[in-house]
A and B are shown apart, each in its own frame.
Chain A
Amino acid sequence: MTLPDLQTVEFPISPSPDAQPFWDGVERGQLVIPRCIRCDTPFWYPRNLCPTCGSRDIEWNPHHGSGTVHAFCIHHHTSLPHLREFVPFVTALVDLGDGIRMMGLIDIEPDPTAARCDIAVHATFRRCAGFQQIPVFVPS
Protein backbone atom coordinates (compact mmCIF):
# COMPACT_ATOMS: atom_id res chain seq x y z
CA MET A 1 0.00 0.00 0.00
CA THR A 2 1.02 3.50 -0.53
CA LEU A 3 -1.02 6.01 1.37
CA PRO A 4 0.48 9.06 -0.30
CA ASP A 5 -2.06 11.70 0.53
CA LEU A 6 -4.65 10.86 3.12
CA GLN A 7 -5.58 14.52 3.31
CA THR A 8 -7.97 13.91 0.44
CA VAL A 9 -9.57 10.91 2.14
CA GLU A 10 -12.49 11.20 4.50
CA PHE A 11 -12.13 8.51 7.17
CA PRO A 12 -15.52 7.53 8.66
CA ILE A 13 -14.49 8.11 12.28
CA SER A 14 -16.64 9.79 14.89
CA PRO A 15 -14.85 9.46 18.25
CA SER A 16 -17.06 7.59 20.69
CA PRO A 17 -17.47 9.20 24.13
CA ASP A 18 -15.49 6.43 25.85
CA ALA A 19 -12.62 6.81 23.36
CA GLN A 20 -12.23 10.60 23.20
CA PRO A 21 -8.92 10.55 25.15
CA PHE A 22 -7.47 8.15 22.57
CA TRP A 23 -8.35 10.40 19.65
CA ASP A 24 -7.11 13.45 21.57
CA GLY A 25 -3.80 11.59 21.98
CA VAL A 26 -3.62 10.77 18.28
CA GLU A 27 -4.16 14.44 17.48
CA ARG A 28 -1.13 15.21 19.69
CA GLY A 29 0.86 12.48 17.91
CA GLN A 30 0.74 9.91 20.70
CA LEU A 31 -0.99 6.60 21.39
CA VAL A 32 -2.68 6.49 24.80
CA ILE A 33 -4.12 3.29 26.20
CA PRO A 34 -6.73 2.81 28.94
CA ARG A 35 -5.74 0.98 32.13
CA CYS A 36 -7.84 -0.26 35.02
CA ILE A 37 -6.67 1.35 38.27
CA ARG A 38 -8.17 -1.37 40.49
CA CYS A 39 -6.65 -4.47 38.81
CA ASP A 40 -3.77 -2.65 37.09
CA THR A 41 -4.62 -4.15 33.69
CA PRO A 42 -4.38 -2.22 30.43
CA PHE A 43 -7.13 -3.05 27.95
CA TRP A 44 -8.21 -2.41 24.41
CA TYR A 45 -10.60 -1.17 23.04
CA PRO A 46 -11.57 1.80 25.24
CA ARG A 47 -14.76 1.38 27.26
CA ASN A 48 -16.18 2.75 30.47
CA LEU A 49 -15.51 -0.34 32.55
CA CYS A 50 -12.60 -2.75 32.89
CA PRO A 51 -13.35 -5.94 30.92
CA THR A 52 -11.24 -7.90 33.42
CA CYS A 53 -12.70 -6.83 36.77
CA GLY A 54 -15.61 -4.51 35.99
CA SER A 55 -14.16 -1.50 37.77
CA ARG A 56 -15.04 1.92 36.37
CA ASP A 57 -11.83 3.51 37.71
CA ILE A 58 -9.85 3.97 34.52
CA GLU A 59 -6.77 6.02 33.65
CA TRP A 60 -5.03 6.64 30.34
CA ASN A 61 -1.31 5.98 29.85
CA PRO A 62 0.97 7.03 27.00
CA HIS A 63 2.30 4.19 24.85
CA HIS A 64 5.54 4.17 22.86
CA GLY A 65 3.65 3.03 19.76
CA SER A 66 5.98 0.14 18.87
CA GLY A 67 4.81 -3.40 18.37
CA THR A 68 4.78 -6.44 16.11
CA VAL A 69 2.39 -7.60 13.42
CA HIS A 70 0.47 -10.53 14.89
CA ALA A 71 -1.62 -11.09 11.76
CA PHE A 72 -2.34 -9.28 8.52
CA CYS A 73 -4.47 -9.43 5.40
CA ILE A 74 -4.05 -7.80 2.01
CA HIS A 75 -7.20 -6.32 0.52
CA HIS A 76 -7.44 -6.67 -3.25
CA HIS A 77 -11.06 -5.51 -3.11
CA THR A 78 -12.92 -3.50 -0.52
CA SER A 79 -16.52 -2.42 -0.09
CA LEU A 80 -15.40 0.59 1.95
CA PRO A 81 -15.45 3.77 -0.17
CA HIS A 82 -12.74 5.59 1.82
CA LEU A 83 -10.19 2.84 1.09
CA ARG A 84 -11.15 1.90 -2.45
CA GLU A 85 -8.38 3.89 -4.15
CA PHE A 86 -5.69 2.23 -2.03
CA VAL A 87 -6.11 -1.44 -3.02
CA PRO A 88 -4.07 -3.49 -2.57
CA PHE A 89 -3.61 -2.33 1.04
CA VAL A 90 -2.77 -4.08 4.30
CA THR A 91 -4.72 -4.33 7.56
CA ALA A 92 -2.90 -5.78 10.56
CA LEU A 93 -3.52 -6.74 14.14
CA VAL A 94 -0.59 -5.18 15.97
CA ASP A 95 0.57 -6.49 19.35
CA LEU A 96 1.65 -3.51 21.46
CA GLY A 97 2.61 -5.48 24.59
CA ASP A 98 0.74 -6.05 27.88
CA GLY A 99 -1.96 -7.91 25.97
CA ILE A 100 -2.93 -4.91 23.85
CA ARG A 101 -3.79 -5.91 20.27
CA MET A 102 -4.89 -3.05 18.02
CA MET A 103 -6.15 -3.19 14.46
CA GLY A 104 -4.62 -0.71 12.07
CA LEU A 105 -3.46 0.01 8.55
CA ILE A 106 0.18 -0.75 7.87
CA ASP A 107 1.90 1.18 5.14
CA ILE A 108 4.39 -1.14 3.47
CA GLU A 109 6.11 0.53 0.54
CA PRO A 110 6.58 -0.18 -2.21
CA ASP A 111 5.09 -3.67 -2.14
CA PRO A 112 2.22 -4.54 0.22
CA THR A 113 2.73 -8.25 -0.47
CA ALA A 114 5.92 -7.95 1.60
CA ALA A 115 3.71 -7.93 4.72
CA ARG A 116 4.59 -10.71 7.19
CA CYS A 117 3.60 -11.82 10.67
CA ASP A 118 5.97 -10.87 13.51
CA ILE A 119 7.63 -7.92 11.74
CA ALA A 120 8.28 -4.88 13.94
CA VAL A 121 6.16 -1.80 13.29
CA HIS A 122 5.54 1.54 14.95
CA ALA A 123 2.76 4.07 14.86
CA THR A 124 2.92 7.22 12.75
CA PHE A 125 0.27 9.89 12.57
CA ARG A 126 -1.22 11.28 9.39
CA ARG A 127 -3.74 13.97 8.73
CA CYS A 128 -6.84 13.09 6.71
CA ALA A 129 -9.88 14.95 5.44
CA GLY A 130 -13.05 15.30 7.46
CA PHE A 131 -11.22 14.29 10.63
CA GLN A 132 -8.06 15.04 12.49
CA GLN A 133 -5.05 12.71 12.49
CA ILE A 134 -5.21 8.93 12.30
CA PRO A 135 -2.61 6.36 13.37
CA VAL A 136 -0.91 4.39 10.56
CA PHE A 137 1.66 1.70 11.35
CA VAL A 138 4.90 1.42 9.36
CA PRO A 139 7.72 -1.15 9.48
CA SER A 140 10.41 -0.17 12.00
Chain B
Amino acid sequence: MSTGVAFVGAGEADRIGSVPDKSALQLHAEAATAALTNANLELSDVDGFFTCGLDFMPSLLVAEYLGLQPKVSGSNSIGGSSFVAHAHEAIQAIHSGACEVVLITHGETRRSNARRGVTTRPAHDDPWFPDWQWERPWGVSTPPPAYALAATRHMHEYGTTSEQLAEIAVATRAWAALNPMAKNRDPLTVDDVMASPWLVYPFHVLDCCLVTDAGGAVVLTSTDRARTLGVPVVDVLGSGVHHTHYGVSNMPDLTVTPAAVSGRLAFEQAGVSPDDIDVAELYDSFTYTVLVTLEDLGFCAKGAGGEFVSGQRTAPGGEFPLNTSGGGLSYTHPGMFGMFLMIEAVRQLRGEAGDRQVAGAELGVVNGIGGYLSSAATLILARSES
Protein backbone atom coordinates (compact mmCIF):
# COMPACT_ATOMS: atom_id res chain seq x y z
CA MET B 1 0.00 0.00 0.00
CA SER B 2 1.22 3.51 -0.78
CA THR B 3 2.34 5.81 2.03
CA GLY B 4 0.74 8.65 0.08
CA VAL B 5 4.17 9.99 -0.83
CA ALA B 6 6.07 9.45 -4.07
CA PHE B 7 9.38 10.13 -5.76
CA VAL B 8 8.86 12.34 -8.82
CA GLY B 9 12.41 13.27 -9.80
CA ALA B 10 16.02 12.18 -9.57
CA GLY B 11 19.25 13.46 -11.06
CA GLU B 12 23.02 13.70 -10.86
CA ALA B 13 25.37 16.64 -11.26
CA ASP B 14 26.42 17.46 -14.85
CA ARG B 15 29.67 15.51 -14.46
CA ILE B 16 30.59 13.07 -11.69
CA GLY B 17 33.67 11.00 -10.97
CA SER B 18 36.68 13.30 -10.96
CA VAL B 19 35.52 16.93 -11.00
CA PRO B 20 38.42 19.02 -9.66
CA ASP B 21 37.11 22.21 -11.28
CA LYS B 22 33.88 22.45 -9.24
CA SER B 23 32.92 23.02 -5.63
CA ALA B 24 30.69 20.67 -3.66
CA LEU B 25 27.97 23.34 -3.65
CA GLN B 26 28.00 23.51 -7.44
CA LEU B 27 27.42 19.75 -7.50
CA HIS B 28 24.43 20.17 -5.13
CA ALA B 29 22.96 22.87 -7.39
CA GLU B 30 23.49 20.94 -10.62
CA ALA B 31 21.86 17.84 -9.17
CA ALA B 32 18.99 19.85 -7.65
CA THR B 33 18.08 21.45 -10.96
CA ALA B 34 18.40 18.11 -12.77
CA ALA B 35 16.08 16.37 -10.30
CA LEU B 36 13.53 19.22 -10.30
CA THR B 37 13.51 19.35 -14.13
CA ASN B 38 13.02 15.57 -14.10
CA ALA B 39 9.96 16.20 -11.84
CA ASN B 40 8.52 19.08 -13.88
CA LEU B 41 8.97 21.29 -10.81
CA GLU B 42 10.88 24.50 -10.01
CA LEU B 43 13.00 25.48 -7.03
CA SER B 44 10.14 27.80 -6.04
CA ASP B 45 7.92 24.72 -5.54
CA VAL B 46 10.25 23.31 -2.87
CA ASP B 47 9.08 23.79 0.73
CA GLY B 48 11.03 20.97 2.39
CA PHE B 49 14.79 20.45 2.17
CA PHE B 50 17.25 17.88 3.52
CA THR B 51 20.99 17.45 3.10
CA CYS B 52 24.13 16.60 5.05
CA GLY B 53 27.84 15.99 4.54
CA LEU B 54 29.07 19.59 4.33
CA ASP B 55 29.86 21.92 7.20
CA PHE B 56 28.48 22.09 10.74
CA MET B 57 25.13 23.52 9.51
CA PRO B 58 24.60 21.64 6.23
CA SER B 59 20.96 22.50 5.54
CA LEU B 60 21.60 26.21 6.16
CA LEU B 61 24.65 26.29 3.90
CA VAL B 62 23.11 24.45 0.98
CA ALA B 63 19.61 25.98 1.28
CA GLU B 64 21.16 29.44 1.17
CA TYR B 65 23.19 28.57 -1.95
CA LEU B 66 20.04 27.23 -3.63
CA GLY B 67 17.98 30.27 -2.56
CA LEU B 68 15.62 28.21 -0.37
CA GLN B 69 13.84 29.15 2.86
CA PRO B 70 12.04 25.86 3.46
CA LYS B 71 9.18 25.24 5.92
CA VAL B 72 10.80 21.94 6.91
CA SER B 73 14.48 21.02 6.81
CA GLY B 74 16.86 18.52 8.29
CA SER B 75 20.44 17.29 8.34
CA ASN B 76 20.19 13.95 10.08
CA SER B 77 23.72 12.62 9.79
CA ILE B 78 24.04 8.84 10.26
CA GLY B 79 26.66 8.12 7.62
CA GLY B 80 26.11 7.01 4.05
CA SER B 81 22.53 6.00 4.75
CA SER B 82 21.63 9.58 5.73
CA PHE B 83 19.91 10.56 2.49
CA VAL B 84 17.68 7.49 2.60
CA ALA B 85 16.84 8.46 6.19
CA HIS B 86 16.06 11.96 4.89
CA ALA B 87 13.53 10.38 2.53
CA HIS B 88 11.98 8.58 5.51
CA GLU B 89 11.66 11.93 7.31
CA ALA B 90 10.36 13.63 4.14
CA ILE B 91 7.62 11.01 3.88
CA GLN B 92 6.49 11.79 7.43
CA ALA B 93 6.68 15.56 6.85
CA ILE B 94 4.66 15.39 3.61
CA HIS B 95 2.19 12.95 5.13
CA SER B 96 1.62 15.28 8.08
CA GLY B 97 1.01 18.26 5.80
CA ALA B 98 4.00 20.18 7.19
CA CYS B 99 5.31 20.57 3.64
CA GLU B 100 4.42 19.37 0.15
CA VAL B 101 7.53 19.21 -2.06
CA VAL B 102 10.80 17.94 -0.57
CA LEU B 103 14.19 18.28 -2.24
CA ILE B 104 17.07 16.14 -0.90
CA THR B 105 20.56 16.91 -2.20
CA HIS B 106 24.06 15.51 -1.75
CA GLY B 107 27.32 16.81 -3.17
CA GLU B 108 30.90 16.17 -2.13
CA THR B 109 34.30 16.49 -3.77
CA ARG B 110 35.93 13.70 -1.78
CA ARG B 111 38.27 12.76 -4.62
CA SER B 112 39.51 16.27 -5.29
CA ASN B 113 39.55 17.60 -1.72
CA ALA B 114 42.85 15.86 -1.01
CA ARG B 115 44.42 17.46 -4.08
CA ARG B 116 43.29 20.90 -2.87
CA GLY B 117 44.23 20.15 0.76
CA VAL B 118 40.72 20.93 2.02
CA THR B 119 38.09 19.19 4.11
CA THR B 120 34.39 20.00 3.81
CA ARG B 121 32.96 17.71 6.48
CA PRO B 122 32.65 18.40 10.17
CA ALA B 123 34.96 16.10 12.14
CA HIS B 124 36.02 16.07 15.77
CA ASP B 125 39.58 15.77 17.00
CA ASP B 126 38.78 15.35 20.70
CA PRO B 127 40.83 12.44 22.06
CA TRP B 128 38.34 12.09 24.93
CA PHE B 129 35.59 10.90 22.57
CA PRO B 130 35.23 7.12 22.48
CA ASP B 131 36.42 6.52 18.92
CA TRP B 132 39.69 8.34 19.59
CA GLN B 133 40.01 6.72 23.00
CA TRP B 134 39.20 3.07 22.22
CA GLU B 135 39.57 2.40 18.47
CA ARG B 136 41.90 4.85 16.77
CA PRO B 137 44.96 3.96 18.90
CA TRP B 138 44.54 0.33 17.77
CA GLY B 139 44.24 1.10 14.06
CA VAL B 140 40.54 1.70 13.40
CA SER B 141 39.77 5.27 12.35
CA THR B 142 38.18 4.67 8.93
CA PRO B 143 35.54 2.29 7.56
CA PRO B 144 37.78 -0.37 5.91
CA PRO B 145 39.17 -1.98 9.09
CA ALA B 146 35.84 -1.66 10.90
CA TYR B 147 33.95 -3.49 8.14
CA ALA B 148 36.84 -5.96 7.87
CA LEU B 149 36.36 -6.92 11.53
CA ALA B 150 32.71 -7.74 10.87
CA ALA B 151 33.60 -9.64 7.71
CA THR B 152 36.13 -11.96 9.37
CA ARG B 153 33.54 -12.92 11.97
CA HIS B 154 30.99 -13.65 9.24
CA MET B 155 33.56 -15.76 7.37
CA HIS B 156 34.39 -17.64 10.56
CA GLU B 157 30.79 -18.35 11.55
CA TYR B 158 29.33 -19.10 8.13
CA GLY B 159 32.22 -20.12 5.89
CA THR B 160 31.85 -17.06 3.66
CA THR B 161 34.82 -16.87 1.28
CA SER B 162 36.87 -14.16 -0.41
CA GLU B 163 35.76 -15.58 -3.76
CA GLN B 164 32.12 -15.08 -2.81
CA LEU B 165 32.83 -11.47 -1.87
CA ALA B 166 34.64 -11.04 -5.21
CA GLU B 167 31.55 -12.27 -7.07
CA ILE B 168 29.78 -9.10 -5.90
CA ALA B 169 32.53 -6.81 -7.23
CA VAL B 170 32.47 -8.63 -10.58
CA ALA B 171 28.69 -8.51 -11.01
CA THR B 172 28.57 -4.87 -9.99
CA ARG B 173 31.26 -4.00 -12.55
CA ALA B 174 29.21 -5.71 -15.26
CA TRP B 175 26.30 -3.37 -14.42
CA ALA B 176 28.69 -0.37 -14.45
CA ALA B 177 29.72 -1.30 -17.98
CA LEU B 178 26.12 -0.48 -18.97
CA ASN B 179 26.10 2.93 -17.21
CA PRO B 180 27.75 5.80 -19.11
CA MET B 181 28.10 7.81 -15.86
CA ALA B 182 30.05 5.01 -14.11
CA LYS B 183 33.69 5.66 -13.25
CA ASN B 184 35.06 2.14 -13.76
CA ARG B 185 33.55 0.23 -16.68
CA ASP B 186 36.24 -2.24 -17.78
CA PRO B 187 35.36 -5.93 -17.31
CA LEU B 188 36.51 -7.57 -14.09
CA THR B 189 36.95 -11.22 -13.08
CA VAL B 190 36.98 -12.97 -9.72
CA ASP B 191 40.69 -13.65 -10.33
CA ASP B 192 41.28 -9.91 -10.88
CA VAL B 193 39.68 -9.12 -7.52
CA MET B 194 41.61 -11.89 -5.75
CA ALA B 195 44.87 -10.70 -7.34
CA SER B 196 44.38 -7.05 -6.36
CA PRO B 197 46.44 -5.92 -3.36
CA TRP B 198 45.17 -6.29 0.19
CA LEU B 199 43.89 -3.07 1.71
CA VAL B 200 42.94 -4.61 5.02
CA TYR B 201 42.30 -8.35 5.23
CA PRO B 202 39.80 -9.75 4.27
CA PHE B 203 39.35 -6.89 1.76
CA HIS B 204 41.31 -6.59 -1.44
CA VAL B 205 41.41 -3.13 -2.97
CA LEU B 206 38.68 -4.23 -5.40
CA ASP B 207 36.37 -5.20 -2.51
CA CYS B 208 36.24 -1.51 -1.56
CA CYS B 209 34.18 1.34 -2.96
CA LEU B 210 35.48 4.22 -5.02
CA VAL B 211 36.21 7.70 -3.73
CA THR B 212 34.76 10.21 -6.21
CA ASP B 213 33.40 13.71 -6.67
CA ALA B 214 29.65 13.62 -7.24
CA GLY B 215 26.32 15.27 -6.65
CA GLY B 216 22.83 13.81 -6.62
CA ALA B 217 19.30 14.88 -5.77
CA VAL B 218 15.78 13.48 -5.51
CA VAL B 219 12.34 15.10 -5.22
CA LEU B 220 9.35 13.75 -3.28
CA THR B 221 5.78 14.98 -3.02
CA SER B 222 2.33 13.70 -2.18
CA THR B 223 1.01 11.09 -4.59
CA ASP B 224 -1.93 13.43 -5.29
CA ARG B 225 0.39 16.22 -6.38
CA ALA B 226 2.64 13.71 -8.14
CA ARG B 227 -0.16 12.64 -10.47
CA THR B 228 -0.58 16.25 -11.70
CA LEU B 229 3.03 16.66 -12.81
CA GLY B 230 2.99 14.67 -16.03
CA VAL B 231 5.99 12.53 -15.06
CA PRO B 232 6.29 8.84 -14.16
CA VAL B 233 5.61 8.41 -10.46
CA VAL B 234 7.37 6.06 -8.03
CA ASP B 235 5.26 5.39 -4.95
CA VAL B 236 6.84 4.83 -1.55
CA LEU B 237 5.20 1.76 -0.04
CA GLY B 238 7.27 1.56 3.12
CA SER B 239 10.28 3.00 4.92
CA GLY B 240 12.30 2.30 8.03
CA VAL B 241 15.40 3.61 9.80
CA HIS B 242 17.39 2.10 12.64
CA HIS B 243 20.78 2.44 14.30
CA THR B 244 22.53 0.38 16.92
CA HIS B 245 25.99 1.87 17.64
CA TYR B 246 28.70 4.33 16.63
CA GLY B 247 31.99 2.44 16.88
CA VAL B 248 32.25 -1.12 15.60
CA SER B 249 33.40 -2.28 19.08
CA ASN B 250 29.85 -1.64 20.24
CA MET B 251 28.05 -3.44 17.41
CA PRO B 252 25.64 -5.79 19.24
CA ASP B 253 26.22 -8.68 16.80
CA LEU B 254 29.02 -8.27 14.24
CA THR B 255 27.16 -10.37 11.67
CA VAL B 256 23.79 -8.56 11.88
CA THR B 257 23.32 -4.97 10.67
CA PRO B 258 20.55 -2.55 11.65
CA ALA B 259 19.01 -3.34 8.24
CA ALA B 260 17.45 -6.35 9.99
CA VAL B 261 15.20 -3.86 11.81
CA SER B 262 14.83 -1.08 9.20
CA GLY B 263 14.07 -3.70 6.55
CA ARG B 264 11.44 -5.42 8.66
CA LEU B 265 9.76 -2.07 9.37
CA ALA B 266 9.76 -1.12 5.68
CA PHE B 267 8.54 -4.48 4.37
CA GLU B 268 5.81 -4.66 7.04
CA GLN B 269 4.56 -1.18 6.18
CA ALA B 270 4.64 -1.98 2.47
CA GLY B 271 2.83 -5.27 2.90
CA VAL B 272 5.20 -7.04 0.52
CA SER B 273 7.96 -9.62 0.99
CA PRO B 274 11.51 -9.92 -0.37
CA ASP B 275 10.22 -12.49 -2.90
CA ASP B 276 8.19 -9.72 -4.55
CA ILE B 277 11.20 -7.45 -5.26
CA ASP B 278 12.30 -6.98 -8.91
CA VAL B 279 15.37 -4.79 -8.38
CA ALA B 280 17.55 -4.13 -5.33
CA GLU B 281 19.86 -1.18 -4.66
CA LEU B 282 21.91 -2.05 -1.55
CA TYR B 283 24.75 0.05 -0.21
CA ASP B 284 28.10 -1.38 -1.36
CA SER B 285 30.75 0.45 0.62
CA PHE B 286 32.42 -2.97 0.56
CA THR B 287 31.46 -6.22 -1.11
CA TYR B 288 30.73 -7.58 2.37
CA THR B 289 28.19 -4.81 3.05
CA VAL B 290 26.03 -6.13 0.21
CA LEU B 291 26.33 -9.75 1.29
CA VAL B 292 25.27 -9.14 4.88
CA THR B 293 22.47 -6.77 3.85
CA LEU B 294 20.97 -9.41 1.54
CA GLU B 295 20.70 -11.64 4.61
CA ASP B 296 19.38 -8.95 6.94
CA LEU B 297 16.65 -7.88 4.50
CA GLY B 298 15.50 -11.49 4.23
CA PHE B 299 16.54 -12.29 0.66
CA CYS B 300 18.32 -15.35 2.09
CA ALA B 301 18.94 -16.92 5.47
CA LYS B 302 21.61 -15.60 7.82
CA GLY B 303 24.91 -17.02 6.64
CA ALA B 304 23.66 -17.88 3.13
CA GLY B 305 24.72 -14.56 1.53
CA GLY B 306 27.83 -16.07 -0.04
CA GLU B 307 25.87 -18.78 -1.75
CA PHE B 308 23.21 -16.26 -2.82
CA VAL B 309 25.68 -14.14 -4.82
CA SER B 310 27.68 -17.04 -6.31
CA GLY B 311 27.66 -17.83 -10.03
CA GLN B 312 27.05 -14.17 -10.97
CA ARG B 313 23.38 -14.43 -9.95
CA THR B 314 23.29 -10.65 -9.40
CA ALA B 315 24.92 -9.61 -12.71
CA PRO B 316 23.04 -8.34 -15.80
CA GLY B 317 20.96 -11.24 -17.09
CA GLY B 318 21.11 -12.99 -13.70
CA GLU B 319 18.18 -14.00 -11.53
CA PHE B 320 18.52 -11.14 -9.06
CA PRO B 321 19.24 -7.63 -10.46
CA LEU B 322 21.37 -5.93 -7.80
CA ASN B 323 23.12 -2.55 -7.78
CA THR B 324 22.24 -1.88 -11.38
CA SER B 325 24.05 1.50 -11.52
CA GLY B 326 27.39 -0.16 -10.93
CA GLY B 327 27.20 0.79 -7.26
CA GLY B 328 29.69 2.47 -5.01
CA LEU B 329 32.15 -0.16 -6.14
CA SER B 330 32.27 0.92 -9.80
CA TYR B 331 29.85 3.81 -10.55
CA THR B 332 30.47 6.52 -7.97
CA HIS B 333 30.94 7.03 -4.22
CA PRO B 334 31.55 10.60 -3.00
CA GLY B 335 32.06 9.46 0.61
CA MET B 336 28.39 8.51 1.01
CA PHE B 337 26.22 6.55 -1.43
CA GLY B 338 22.65 6.57 -0.10
CA MET B 339 21.51 9.27 -2.50
CA PHE B 340 22.71 7.34 -5.52
CA LEU B 341 20.85 4.19 -4.45
CA MET B 342 17.61 6.18 -4.58
CA ILE B 343 18.43 7.81 -7.92
CA GLU B 344 19.00 4.42 -9.54
CA ALA B 345 15.89 2.85 -7.99
CA VAL B 346 13.74 5.74 -9.23
CA ARG B 347 15.20 5.43 -12.74
CA GLN B 348 14.66 1.67 -12.84
CA LEU B 349 11.05 1.97 -11.67
CA ARG B 350 10.36 4.80 -14.15
CA GLY B 351 11.82 2.71 -16.95
CA GLU B 352 14.53 5.33 -17.57
CA ALA B 353 17.66 3.22 -16.96
CA GLY B 354 18.77 2.87 -20.58
CA ASP B 355 20.94 -0.12 -21.45
CA ARG B 356 20.78 -1.41 -17.90
CA GLN B 357 16.99 -1.26 -17.55
CA VAL B 358 15.61 -4.28 -15.71
CA ALA B 359 12.69 -5.43 -17.86
CA GLY B 360 9.35 -5.17 -16.10
CA ALA B 361 10.77 -3.71 -12.87
CA GLU B 362 7.77 -2.81 -10.74
CA LEU B 363 8.94 -3.18 -7.17
CA GLY B 364 12.31 -2.12 -5.78
CA VAL B 365 14.16 -1.95 -2.49
CA VAL B 366 16.75 0.63 -1.42
CA ASN B 367 18.93 0.04 1.63
CA GLY B 368 21.53 2.48 2.90
CA ILE B 369 24.11 1.44 5.50
CA GLY B 370 26.03 4.14 7.36
CA GLY B 371 28.89 4.60 9.77
CA TYR B 372 30.61 1.38 10.87
CA LEU B 373 27.64 -0.83 9.93
CA SER B 374 25.96 1.46 12.45
CA SER B 375 22.81 2.71 10.75
CA ALA B 376 20.40 1.49 8.11
CA ALA B 377 17.58 3.07 6.15
CA THR B 378 15.25 1.07 3.91
CA LEU B 379 12.70 2.11 1.29
CA ILE B 380 10.24 -0.08 -0.61
CA LEU B 381 9.32 1.61 -3.89
CA ALA B 382 6.81 0.77 -6.62
CA ARG B 383 6.18 1.88 -10.16
CA SER B 384 2.91 3.78 -9.93
CA GLU B 385 -0.10 2.19 -11.53
CA SER B 386 -1.56 5.49 -12.74
Contact of B136 among A12, A15, A19, A75 (CB under 8 A): A12
Complex-state Cα separation, A74 to B200, whole angstroms: 5
| A76 with B137: CB separation less than 8 A | no
Closest to B148 in A: A73
Q: Given known contacts A76-B199, A103-B140, A105-B138, is B149 in contact with A93 (CB within 8 Å)?
A: yes
Q: Given known contacts A102-B249, A117-B153, is B139 in contact with A78 (CB within 8 Å)?
A: yes
- Which residue of A45, A83, A103, A134 has the most chain B CB atoms within 10 A of its CB atom? A103
Task: For the complex, count residues of B whose C-beta is within 8 A of A.
Answer: 33
| A117 with B156: CB separation less than 8 A | yes
B142 within 8 A of A: yes
* Stretch among B42-50, B90-98, B124-132, B355-363 lining the A interface: B124-132
B72 within 8 A of A: no
Interface residues on A, range: 35 or more
Residue-wise interface mask of A (92-136) relative to B, using a CB-CB cutoff of 8 A (1 in contact, 0 not): 110000000111110000000100111000000000000000100
Complex-state Cα separation, A89 to B200, whole angstroms: 10
Complex-state Cα separation, A117 to B133, whole angstroms: 24
Q: Given known contacts A91-B149, A93-B149, is B137 in contact with A12 (CB within 8 Å)?
A: yes
B201 within 8 A of A: yes
Contact of A93 among B129, B141, B199, B254 (CB under 8 A): B254
| B152 with A73: CB separation less than 8 A | yes
Closest-CB distance, A90 to chain B (whole angstroms):
9
| B152 with A72: CB separation less than 8 A | yes
A11 within 8 A of B: yes
Contact of B152 among A71, A88, A102 (CB under 8 A): A71
Q: Which B positions have Cβ atoms within 8 angstroms of A?
A: 127-130, 132-142, 145, 148-153, 156, 197-202, 248-250, 254
Q: Which A positions have Cβ atoms within 8 angstroms of B?
A: 11-17, 19, 44-45, 47, 70-80, 82-83, 88-89, 91-93, 101-105, 113, 116-118, 134
Q: What 8 pairs across the A-B complex have the smallest Cβ distances?
A: A73-B148, A74-B201, A16-B128, A117-B156, A71-B153, A14-B127, A76-B198, A91-B139
